[in-house]
Amino acid sequence: MADEVVLLDFWPSMFGMRVRIALAEKGIKYEYKDEDLRNKSPLLLEMNPIHKKIPVLIHNGKPVCESLIIVQYIDEVWKDRCPLLPIDPYQRAHSRFWADFVDKKVIEVLMKISTTKGEEKEAGKMEFFEIFKILEGELGDKPYFGGGTFGFVDLSLIPYYSWFYAIETIGELNIEAECPKIVAWAKKCLQKETVAKTLPDQKKVYEYVEQMRKKFGND
Amino acid sequence: MAYEVVLVDTWVSMFGMRVRIALAEKGIKYEYKEEDLCNKSKLLLKINPIYKKIPVLIHNGKPVCESLIIVQYIDEVWNDRSPLMPSDPYPRACARFWADFVDKRVYDVAKKVWTTKGEEQEAAKKEFIETLQILERQLGDHPYFGGERFGFVDLSLITFYSWFYAYETFGNFSIEAECPKIIAWAKRCLQKDSVANTLPDQKKVYEYVVQMRKRFGVE
């Protein structure tokens, strides 16, 4: 019986991009449904009644929610190819820790930079660089966070790269100047087809963010 | 004798308790180191430089941080006994989802119940009860969140039970009146040695919270 895989998502969502990259890495065919988040579909509300958020993976009719949980699910079900998490339990715990760090820290600081002004925005910018310098420290001299191969932590972070132009323009900052290793790492990830085909164009994301800022009166 | 497993923790932490229950379920001998969070040890700052928080599990000299990541690590290393996670990927994803729900929703709102007053406290109480009621619906008629057996979600939530008397006293409300199924489930969990021997006495936790409220200037 063929697997039926549906992804409820929203094109600029860095969380959704994680799942799209994972599905591409595993070569899984799926139906993509783009949600209008101002007008959530009955399907989304049925599949994720708790958080009412995307992404949601629906596998043979059963929903899985929360991007990092979905990615681990994909890795465990389609375990015969392209492992996304390390095999060794310690390395797995290490990967989970850093993906969780990305989840805890990055989106919050992005929101701060895009929705505040003055001193609060400046504080947000400083915090952004602190977080990315910590990530640079963790990357070290490795090609990927996963070591020699692209893995769970790389996947959890790389979608934010599609937001860099928006952050730099709105935040008036230069990420490459402060965090050259992160930008070099991102460009290396983009050499992978799965990443290059998933990440939207940075200018498109910027236009979307600007629209949102106007809507919420943040410009 | 040097233990290959060391837990850096503090007795009152519901996050630390999760790890202690997991270690007890697996019958793992370990050295327990109590941290004074007002005066963090050099060891803690060295093994968890990112968050500087407990619990931290040190296994053969290597640290693992974040309670749910530690519990999954324990389950994967000592995989020959008392499984904490379901073996099938879909129920595993569901277990991760609900443990993540507990992490995202319970701690912060419960903290507001004992650190705020007036309208803010009333709003926190309401949200806390609503959150527990969502969990009650998820529990349904099963004895445990794990189904027939105590598992990952039960472990992630039961530790908050030791704080219930403190929440009820400072919030001036009865959790049992609003969420009888949760209380019944908690008492069922407490019949397990690993839980009963780990959870501190609710009155001792209350006395600790009294001290903390003085420190935070909440009267």
pLDDT, tens digit (0-9, with 9 covering 90-100), for B16-52: 999 999 999 999 999 999 999 999 999 999 999 999 9
CB contact under 8 A, B100 and A66: yes
pLDDT band at A201 (very low <50, low <70, confident <90, very high): very high
Question: What number of residues does chain A have?
Answer: 219
Residue A148 scores a pLDDT above 50: yes
How close A74 comes to chain B (CA, Å)?
A: 9
CB neighbours (10 Å) of residue A125? 18
Looking at beta carbons, which residues of chain B come within 8 Å of A66? 96-97, 100
Q: What is the DSSP letter of B66?
A: S
Q: What is the pLDDT of residue A219?
A: 63
Q: What is the pLDDT of residue A213?
A: 85
Judge whether B156 lies within some domain. yes
Q: What is the pLDDT of residue B207?
A: 97
How close A118 comes to chain B (CA, Å)?
A: 28
CB contact under 8 A, B73 and A134: no
Q: What is the pLDDT of residue A1?
A: 55
CA-wise closest residue to A63 among A53, A74, A77, A48: A48
Q: Is A92 on the interface with B (CB under 8 A)?
A: yes
Task: Show which of B23, B48, B77 is a domain's final residue.
Answer: B77
pLDDT band at A140 (very low <50, low <70, confident <90, very high): very high
**CATH classification of the domain holding B186:** 1.20.1050.10
- Residue of A100, A108, A152 to mutate when probing chain B, most B C-beta within 10 A: A100
Q: Is A59 on the interface with B (CB under 8 A)?
A: yes
How close B46 comes to chain A (CA, Å)?
A: 15
Domain tally for chain B? 2
SS (H, E, C) A27-78: CCCCEEEECCCCCCCHHHHHHCCCCCCCCEEEECCEEEECHHHHHHHHHHHC
**B69 touches A100 (CB < 8 A):** yes
Q: Do B71 and B136 share a structural domain?
A: no
Per-residue pLDDT, averaged over A130-153, amounts to 97
Residue B1 scores a pLDDT above 50: no
Q: Do B118 and B43 share a structural domain?
A: no
Q: Do B183 and B96 share a structural domain?
A: yes
Q: Do B52 and B140 share a structural domain?
A: no
Tens of pLDDT, residues B40-95: 999 999 999 999 999 999 999 999 999 999 999 999 999 999 999 999 999 999 99
CB neighbours (10 Å) of residue B137? 8
What's the domain range around B185?
89-216
Q: Is A136 on the interface with B (CB under 8 A)?
A: no
Tens of pLDDT, residues A19-29: 999 999 999 99
Q: Do B181 and B117 share a structural domain?
A: yes
Q: Do B211 and B129 share a structural domain?
A: yes
Among the listed ranges A4-18, A106-120, B75-89, which one has the minimum average pLDDT value? Answer: A106-120
Relative orientation angle of helices B89-115 and B67-77, to the nearest 10 degrees: 150
The ipTM value here is 0.96
Q: Do B60 and B94 share a structural domain?
A: no
CB contact under 8 A, A97 and B64: yes
CA-wise closest residue to A117 among A1, A17, A218: A218
Average pLDDT score, chain A: 95
Q: Do B207 and B175 share a structural domain?
A: yes
Determine whether B201 is exposed, middle or buried from the number of CB atoms within 10 Å of its CB (0-12, 13-18, 19+): exposed
Q: Do B93 and B70 share a structural domain?
A: no
Q: What is the DSSP letter of B32?
A: E
Q: Do B111 and B208 share a structural domain?
A: yes
Task: Show which of B77, B102, B124 is a domain's final residue.
Answer: B77
Q: What is the pLDDT of residue B142?
A: 97
Determine if residue A101 is left, alpha or beta; phi over 0 gives left, psi from -120 to 50 gives alpha, anything else beta.
alpha
| Residue B64: both structure tokens together | 């693992």
The span from the CA of B213 to the CA of B114, in Å, is 8
Judge whether B82 lies within some domain. no
Which residue of chain A is at minimal alpha-carbon distance from B60?
Answer: A90
Tens of pLDDT, residues B191-206: 999 999 999 999 999 9
Q: Is A65 on the interface with B (CB under 8 A)?
A: yes
Q: What is the pLDDT of residue B14?
A: 97
Judge whether B170 lies within some domain. yes
Q: Do B200 and B103 share a structural domain?
A: yes
pLDDT band at A215 (very low <50, low <70, confident <90, very high): confident
Judge whether B20 lies within some domain. yes
Q: Do B104 and B50 share a structural domain?
A: no
Judge whether B83 lies within some domain. no
**CATH classification of the domain holding B69:** 3.40.30.10
**A183 touches A176 (CB < 8 A):** yes
- Residue of A68, A96, A104 to mutate when probing chain B, most B C-beta within 10 A: A96
Q: What is the pLDDT of residue A217?
A: 74
Judge whether B84 lies within some domain. no
